[in-house]
Structure formats: structure tokens, C-alpha cells
Structure 1
């Protein structure tokens, strides 16, 4: 078979792929594409070939020389299929994609590689609402793990500091799974009291207890066929953990007041900011339950660990806060933000920017506004002028609800432990969650 006829055959092979696909020779030249690739990424634009690293990233040399993993090099070295996650340039901007690279050869034993590109729609490398956002290495490693385990039914434990985005990660796991078209149900473990635990999770029948005037479907049954997300699972009291263990092991449950067991069908994702292995050592968390929920543990990086993503996160959050005015930070304002420790992580950054949006004088937010938003300068204080915080709030004619919200936001920035915040505020965790709801 001549080279021309072989390439024609390979184009037909590429056309059999639903996702974008290309054929690359040993010199990194893209020599054939399918229609899906042409539509999504622009194709070769009339050229007979182009370097893959230039088309995908705008690089002048292979990916591994730019500090990234080169899927073609991995496939060449191993002789087997290689899978990596990359950020590609597209007409719509930068996008996360999963790349499967398959080594092949022609009739003359010349090396070629088929690359199939799987766009990842659950995360974004551009500012956009309601998605996990980032481009840093730490963020990309997180996305890669989510994509790998998301396609399975394996139990996942998301670990990381408060405010790092564990619920968004859980939603991304759900979206990448075969259960994506079914329910995603969140259980706020911190807010469940002993008396509500079984009723909330398993439901109850009419008359099961005083006040049960009708039957109620529990959260486990609501998640049937979908994903059950146990947020802050480390806050479940020790004496109630056995009930969770039984649910996970038997995949059955009984509504309160009912003697008949019901089959449960859900994918389990748990999250915690606590050190569960240390709690196991102290006897505060069941060892058997820990091993059940942590089949595939994933650590979410703190904002300090992915500081490279700060400008992108700021741009995205400002778009969400004010979608009618193009707000932007000055360079010195961004530098001031970059110096912050962000103990409250992404949630703290969001609070700071929301305050800055209220305090701004125009579309450009300067360092002085960020200082006020960081409480480095009192909200109503001009240079050389100091006023009591309560007087400032009175002058701003704030309602009691607004004052309470400001106080709770300051507490959330100061203390990473939500239990400690609730204790200082003099309310239960359940009440705290309710008050923090937007």
C-alpha cells in the first residue's frame, strides 16, 4: 500500500471516532484529522501538516520541553496507549481535554500515533460560572483524578481545607459518571442532630414518631440511581457511624417506623476538612467506616497551593458578582490579594470580592478598596480618620440581618473550623449553614 493510500485509509479510521481525533507522525506532525476535530479546533486550515504542540498550545517545541507531560512521548516509550490531561487552545479559548494516544505503524514500520481528544465539560480554564476553574498544575492533577475515577462507581473521599471547593469537585465527579442524568443529593452531616439523622437519611413513615403527620422520603432514597454526597462526614458522631457503615455495606436501609428493608442504589462521595486517620487513631472515627469511604482519596489543593489560578478565579468571581458591569482589579490590587494567606480559601476570596464590589467607586477596583475589603482599613474610614465599627454600620443604615452577615463572614475568614464559628456565634451548625445560604 502506498503512503497516500495508507493515509487515506487512516482518515477513514479517524472518521469512525465521534470525538475529535488526529494522526501524528514521529516528528510531531499532525498529518490527518477527522471532521469533529476540524469543527471544534479549526483543523489544519489548508495546510498539509502542522506540529501538534503548536496546534494545541501554541508552543514552539514539544510539550515535555515546556514542562508538561507529552502523551505521544509516553505512548512511544511504553508502546501502549497513554492517557493524559491537557489544556488546549480552541476558538472558544482554553479548554481542559483528556487525550488518549494510541501507537500504530504503517506498512513500512514507520511510527504514527492516533490521538483522540475528549473535551472535559465539568471544569473550565476560562472564567465561567458554576464550574471548577483553574489552569495550575495542582488544579490539573485534581481534574485528572476526578476524570479517572468519575467513570467508575468507586467510593471517593474528598479531603482538603474548608472553602477549597469540595462540593464542586463532588458535582464534577457526578457529572463525569454514568449516573450524571440522575440525582445528586447532598447531606450536610454537620447539621444533623441525633434525632434527625435516621429520619433525614432514611425517611420515615406516617406516625413513626410524634410530629410525623405524613410519610417522608429520605435523602438516600432521593439519591437512588445517582450520587449521595456526604459533606463533612468527619462530623458524624461516633455512635451514629455504625448506621452509615451498615448502609454502605448492605446497600439497604429501613425508613423510621418501617420494618421492611429497601434496596439503595447510589454512588458514594464523601468530603471532610478533618484528619480522619488521626481521628481513627484517637478512637473518634470508626476504622472500618474510614476504609469503606476512602477507597479512592483525593486531596483538594488549598488556594495557597494553586496561587497561579488567582487572577483567573478573580475574573470569574467578578463576572458572577456583577454580570452587567465589567469589573476589574488594578495591578496593585491584584498584588495585594496575592500576598494574602487565604486561610478560608476560595470562599474567603469570594467574600473579599463581594465586599469590594459593594465598596467600589467605578469599574476599576483599586488597592484601597481591597484593603477595606480585607479589613486592613475599616469600611467607612478615610485616611487619618477612625470610627467605631458599630458607628460605621449605623451610618451605613445597615439592617440587623446585614450586620449579622458581615459578622459571620469575618468569623468564617478568621476560623477554618465551622464548628468553632458556630460556637462563637452562639448557634448550632445547622443554623449556621442556614444563615450562610445565599
Structure 2
């Protein structure tokens, strides 16, 4: 397509008016022609993404955002403009952009501007920085840049504004609570409480009293009324961790709570109304548990409205160095920087991490106690640290979740991969490993 000349055709006056209008928008926005040239940029964009002394207008968007010499799709990434041409409509993607503050996760929404004949005159691109995840070492929150991490984060960004229940799937130690907290922070309920319920190891009676609270005298030792975690989560997010451990008898009451919002404190008669966003997580194969009668089918489908599969650490080896720096930032004593020798980092990158990020954190916490000069060496790492086989139970759980997600899905493999929080390559590899059926 030819570059749009803003001064050559009076028919483009409406486009010029649009550029002027965007100056009053509070979110960063730019206008692009079909040849990727930036025609206009509002003040919010210049403040957040512009670099002092560097021009923006007339520059290629991929050079400003990514420092690429070619469009994103030619550099192996999702290009929203290319996708918009294919779809004939808007597109949205999560990218890592270069900014004055360094690389950042950015939500990009692109919409075509058409002339009366339906031809594309230009595109409007809205950009929103993701504040609850980092593309650089960070002492808190989610950290990652790999394709599988980005896919899970993009799924999280898409579902966060809604009230749909979200089910986080993945092996133990993949950071489900961090993802759940990020989901809360990206939602309209970010100003409300984020309440965690650890469902593992709770008896039926204890689970009910913890979740719903109890009245004075409800049982021996109930000397005063106590609000439950459902009540504490009012106006916010309720995170049910290890959902597969909820006692079967309690699943009925939990289903009623989710469907009607109504519950009673233990020993109480008054029906109270809950107001929370539900996020659940499990490493267990819920679909198999349903088939075996260990988990209610109706509850399963209620909490499984939007599943997100979190990648295992062995699926994101390119993130290990980033995670190592982040963990060391969190664990280092004040004023005492910690780092690794290249050989030690290579050893960590060669390990399969069956315990995922939790195992990596434990290894680094132990190693730093031996690093008197602040430098972690190979000899400070566990002697048996090497590539280890995947634990059969964990692999079985993930395979079960994947097979259930595939059943009945009629969209493209790309769409399924994004929904599961996987790259297309990882999805293809895992489906191939599971066999032709």
C-alpha cells in the first residue's frame, strides 16, 4: 500500500480531525498509515513512550516500539496491522515495547479507519502499559518475557475486565497466586480486597466456618461472631487455591454460593449476599476427578468459564536469568547485591525444574548463604542439580487438563493456544506427544 499523504487529498480532512481529537485522550494513542508510518501521536503517548530529542512522526512504528528493521510479523511476532488486514477489523495483542523506562509489557489495540469506499486510510493504535507484570528483573509481581509467559499474561489481560470466573491450571510452583493477584489488580475490583483461601488440608467443618464465618455459640469454642473469608472479600476477589481439595460435601454449598451469591454463617439463619470475583486454581486433573466422582461436574463447569494454563518453568528457559535476578533482588540483604557466575547460571538453565519457580527460589535461597562475597558459584548449588525427568503425576495432571480443553473446541490452534496460555509451538508439541487421538 502507498503511504498516506496527509496534505494531498481533502478527503483526508476527517483523518486530520481525528488526530487533533486524540490530543485530548488521556490514554496513549497514535495514528498509523498502512505503511507503518506514525502520522500522529497524542501528548499521552509522547509522555509515556517518546524519548527526549527523538522524533516520533514519520517513524516506523516497529522501529520506535521494538527497534526492529522490519514489521513485527517478519520478526517472528504477532503484528496487529497484518492481522487487521486479514480479519478486516480490529486486533489486539500484548507486546514488549522499548520505553524510556526500559522494556515493558504493553497492551496494543489497533482499529482501521476506512474511507467511504471501505478502503483503509489509516489505523488508530491505543497503548496501555501493564503495571502488574515486568519484562525486567523486579522485586515483586510477575516477571517474564518468554512466548508462553506472554500468552498466559495476554489471556489474563483479556479476562480481567470481566466478571467471568477464572480457573488457573498448572503444575505446583508455577505462580498461581501471583497470577491471581495480578488478575485482581488488572480488574475493576483492584480497589477491593484480595482474599486467599487455601483449600488444602481443611476438613469439611473447618472449611465451612473459614469460608462462611460463624455465629457466637455455633460450636464449642465459638465465643464470638466471626465473619468468613467470603464476607472479607466483599467488593474484591476471592481466590480459592488448590480447588481440587475442596471436600465433596462442601462443593454443593460452594456451587450455591457461586450461582446465587447467597450463604449463611455457621449457626446462623440469615441469608447473606456475597459480592466477589472468583478465581480458582489447581494442579490436579479436575476432569478426571469428575469422571471418578471425586469432584462435582456442575461445579467444575461453573468455575471453568475461562481456564488459563500457566507454563512450567522448563517451558520458559529464556526466563530463568530474568527470574534469577528477580529472586535475588527479593532475597538479598539490604545493601548486599547478589549475582551468579556464568557457569552457575548455565547450570540453572540446564535443570528441568520439576518444582518450577518455587524450586528455583529454594535453590537460590540456599546458595546465597554460601556466597560470602555476593557471588553465587557452581559449588554453591546442590550437587544433584541437573536436568531431571518430569514428575509423572504433574505431567498427567497437565495432560488431562489439555485433553479436556481440546475436546469440543472448534476454533483455530492459534486461538486454543492463546486460551490455554501456551505458544502454538508448545501446543503442537504437547498434542503430538499425546498421540493421534
Shorter-chain TM-score: which interval? 0.7 to 0.9
- Determine if the alignment matches structure 1 residue 331 to structure 2 residue 342: yes
Aligned to 2:218: 208
Find the aligned partners of 1:25 and 1:57 in 2 and give their Cα distance.
Answer: 18
Per the TM alignment, residue 79 of structure 1 is displaced from its structure 2 partner at its CA by 2.3
Deviations 1:246-273 (A, max 9, x none): 2112210000111110011111110001
Aligned to 2:166: 156
Distance 1:212 1:119, change over 3 A: same
- Determine if the alignment matches structure 1 residue 271 to structure 2 residue 281: yes
Gap regions ≥5 residues in structure 2: 1-8, 395-437
Find 1:341's aligned residue among 343, 352, 371: 352
Distance 1:9 1:45, change over 3 A: farther
Distance 1:254 1:99, change over 3 A: same
Q: 2:122 aligns to what SS in structure 1? A: strand
- Determine if the alignment matches structure 1 residue 34 to structure 2 residue 45: no
Per the TM alignment, residue 3 of structure 1 is displaced from its structure 2 partner at its CA by 8.1
Aligned to 1:262: 272
Aligned to 1:249: 259
- Determine if the alignment matches structure 1 residue 352 to structure 2 residue 360: no
Range with bigger deviation, 251-260 or 35-44: 35-44
Find 2:28's aligned residue among 20, 24, 33: 20
Q: Assess if the C-alpha contact under 8 Å between 2:327 and 2:361 holds in 1.
A: yes
Deviations 1:265-298 (A, max 9, x none): 1111100010000111111111111111111111
Distance 1:110 1:259, change over 3 A: closer
Q: 2:96 aligns to what SS in structure 1? A: strand
Deviations 1:144-173 (A, max 9, x none): 100001110001111100100000111111
Q: Which runs of 4+ in 1 moved over 3 A?
A: 1-8, 105-110, 413-417
Per the TM alignment, residue 363 of structure 1 is displaced from its structure 2 partner at its CA by 2.4
Larger Rg: 1
Deviations 1:74-105 (A, max 9, x none): 12222211111101001111111111101114
TM-score (norm. length: structure 2): 0.83
Find the aligned partners of 1:243 and 1:350 in 2 and give their Cα distance.
Answer: 37
Range with bigger deviation, 191-200 or 107-116: 107-116
Q: 1:207 aligns to what SS in structure 2? A: coil
Q: 1:116 aligns to what SS in structure 2? A: strand
Per the TM alignment, residue 319 of structure 1 is displaced from its structure 2 partner at its CA by 0.8
Per the TM alignment, residue 7 of structure 1 is displaced from its structure 2 partner at its CA by 6.1
Find the aligned partners of 2:149 and 2:216 in 1 and give their Cα distance.
Answer: 47
Aligned-pair Cα RMSD in Å: 2.2
Find 2:106's aligned residue among 97, 114, 117: 97
- Determine if the alignment matches structure 1 residue 51 to structure 2 residue 51: no
Q: 1:308 aligns to what SS in structure 2? A: helix
- Determine if the alignment matches structure 1 residue 368 to structure 2 residue 376: no
Per the TM alignment, residue 35 of structure 1 is displaced from its structure 2 partner at its CA by 0.5
Aligned to 2:426: none
Say which structure, 1 or 2, has more relative contact order (CA 8 Å, 6+ apart): 2
Gap regions ≥5 residues in structure 1: 377-412, 418-438
Aligned to 1:136: 146
Distance 1:371 1:205, change over 3 A: closer
Aligned residues: 380
Distance 1:115 1:168, change over 3 A: same
Find the aligned partners of 2:88 and 2:243 in 1 and give their Cα distance.
Answer: 43
Q: 1:248 aligns to what SS in structure 2? A: helix
Q: Assess if the C-alpha contact under 8 Å between 2:93 and 2:107 holds in 1.
A: yes
Q: Assess if the C-alpha contact under 8 Å between 1:74 and 1:82 holds in 2.
A: yes
